[in-house]
Amino acid sequence: MSGSILRVENVKKSFGGVEALKGVSLEVGEGEIHCLAGENGCGKSTLIKIVSGFYEADTGTIELNGQRFSRLSPTEAISQGVQVIYQDFSLFPNLTVMENLSINMELMSKRKWVNYARMRRTATEAIAKIGFAADLDERVENLSVAEKQLIAICRALLYNARIIIMDEPTTALTKKEVRSLFIIIKKLQAQGIAVLFVSHKLDEVFEISERFTIFRNGMNVAAGNTDELDNKKFAYYMTGRNFSEEAYSSASISPIPTMSIRGLSSRSFYHDISFDLFGGEILGITGLLGSGRAELVQTIFGINAADSGTIEVNGKKARIRKVKDAISLGIGYVPSDRITEGLFLPQSIGRNMVVSGLTRLSNAAGFLRKDKIDEEIKSWITELAIVTDDYEKEVKTLSGGNQQKVVLARWLANDLKVLILNGPTVGVDIGSKYDIHGLLRDLASKGLSIIIISDDLPELLECCNRIIVMRDGGIVKELNAPETNEAQLSEITTGIA
């Protein structure tokens, strides 16, 4: 390994008597792409905040560019070339690209007057560093997640970054956007900049990183060269559990459709969509961004209306014009972005679970029955193995996987016939991913009809009976999942052999 940019030795950190880090170590070389992996709660974020000077370690040392620190301030970290790109990117949505890129430089210079010509030069220099063709006058709130991420990278390079820490950088990106990000990361590497890539996605770790470090429960469990690692070892190091990767099959699928879609069309989104969904079946729907897959399931759930075509539920024509209509028919929907679309973050775990069933949990006079509410909350916490010591805590205190289980509990508490999940394991760690997959299989075995929307091809192949592939708003192929491999599915999805 080349000269070390970052060396962490025996760092410990506790919060209120709870040990977040129990003596971890990590080393990243100049121009190295290093993956820091581990399940949610393993200590990755705590270490990042220590390296960036936000937290102070209880014991241990941080070495940056050969200089040793027992205590590190944010200013010292930045002066040593440390830049962190968090999941929210820390951008100002109401400001333009130019303003986001240059505002910190203006503030640090302590100038009395804003000079827009100087700000534009700064921003132009920033985007040129990675060849990003951005409209400097566009408001950031109007940009895609991938574009926001590139702005955050450009901003980091303005401060002569020597190591860029990317915290779960691909959580909200499509496969195509991930590939574009990896090209940028390779460009950074060619400039001698090290990248600490924080992730729990196996395929991405293998594709982009050269070396890895894995944490579990605040401790080091493995480190080495990525080419010495395989999926099975990686999953075991992350979770301490062994998982089987078998294609899903079910003998309990009903011959009678729960839902029938015929000729469904929505101008500009999808056209002439027809398929059946059977009781006990897990149906996958995939396609590239813009294929119409998301808009299709949003129509089924009443978020937007179709222009033509019909939907039948249990053999009867359904009139779905709003979400309330879909819910009354026994259709549930877990959105891809649980943070903004699926959860009430300031509310408690328990309230988030029961919010869609308050009528059922009320007495004849319309008053909520606390005994029934508490009983239901406790039941689902046990049933779904949601990790919490107090369901009165805000739901935002949970890990991504446990938050997803809370959203699932909300729908499963109702008399569901169809459950639609858009990206069911986006942003959850390996252990939670397998738990959610197991839960979906169990629900299907009990007769529930399930639709999974995903661009995670291995997930579809492992969980689904059938897979529908959409492209340009239409269905291009229907596949039997157990008879299909990832290469075939990728070729059909992209249209590229």
**CATH topology agreement for domains 4-239 and 257-494:** yes
Q: Block means of pLDDT (10 residues each) for the chain, length 497 residues?
A: 86 91 96 92 92 95 93 91 88 93 81 85 91 92 90 91 91 80 93 91 87 95 93 89 76 92 95 97 93 95 95 96 94 86 89 86 88 92 91 89 90 91 86 89 94 92 95 96 91 82
Helix count and strand count (H, E) for the chain: 16, 20
Q: According to the model, what pLDDT value does residue 18 have?
A: 85
The tens digit of pLDDT for each residue in 171-230 reads 777 778 888 899 999 999 999 999 999 987 778 888 999 999 999 999 999 999 999 988
Cβ-based neighbour number of residue 137 at 10 Å: 11
The tens digit of pLDDT for each residue in 428-458 reads 888 888 889 999 999 999 999 999 999 888 8
Count the residues in the chain. Answer: 497
CATH topology of domain 4-239: Rossmann fold (3.40.50)
CB contact set of 332 (below 8 Å; sequence gap of 6+)? 411, 412, 414, 416, 418, 419, 420
Contact 231, 225 (CB under 8 A): no
Q: According to the model, what pLDDT value does residue 2 have?
A: 60
Q: According to the model, what pLDDT value does residue 82 have?
A: 96
- DSSP H stretches of helix in 260-369: 293-300, 323-328, 349-354
Surface-to-core class of residue 352, CB atoms within 10 Å of its CB (0-12 exposed, 13-18 middle, 19+ buried)? buried
Contact 157, 132 (CB under 8 A): no
**CA–CA gap between residue 333 and residue 95 (Å, rounded):** 34
The CATH number fitting domain 257-494, selected from 3.40.30.10, 3.40.50.300, 3.40.1190.20, 3.90.420.10: 3.40.50.300
Contact 468, 285 (CB under 8 A): yes
Question: Backbone phi, then psi, for 493, in 5-degree steps?
Answer: -65, -45
CB contact set of 388 (below 8 Å; sequence gap of 6+)? 349, 381, 397, 398, 402
Q: What's the mean pLDDT when you consider all of the chain?
A: 91
Contact 341, 335 (CB under 8 A): yes
What is the residue whose two structure tokens read 């390994």?
1
Domain ranges of the chain: 4-239, 257-494
Q: According to the model, what pLDDT value does residue 484 have?
A: 93
Contact 224, 211 (CB under 8 A): yes
Write the DSSP symbol of residue 231.
H
Q: Among candidates 17, 13, 6, which has minimal Cα distance to 59?
A: 13
What is the residue whose two structure tokens read 């290093």?
34
Surface-to-core class of residue 88, CB atoms within 10 Å of its CB (0-12 exposed, 13-18 middle, 19+ buried)? exposed
Contact 33, 6 (CB under 8 A): no
Q: According to the model, what pLDDT value does residue 1 have?
A: 52
**CA–CA gap between residue 82 and residue 51 (Å, rounded):** 8
For the chain, the distance separating the N- and C-terminal CA atoms, rounded to the nearest angstrom, is 37
pTM: 0.75
Q: What is the dihedral of CA 463, 464, 468, 473, to 10 degrees?
A: -40
Which neighbouring-strand residues pair with 36? 198, 213
DSSP letters, 351-366, are HHHHGGGTTTTB-TTS
CB contact set of 491 (below 8 Å; sequence gap of 6+)? 497
Q: According to the model, what pLDDT value does residue 479 have?
A: 96
- DSSP H stretches of helix in 331-429: 349-354, 370-383, 400-412
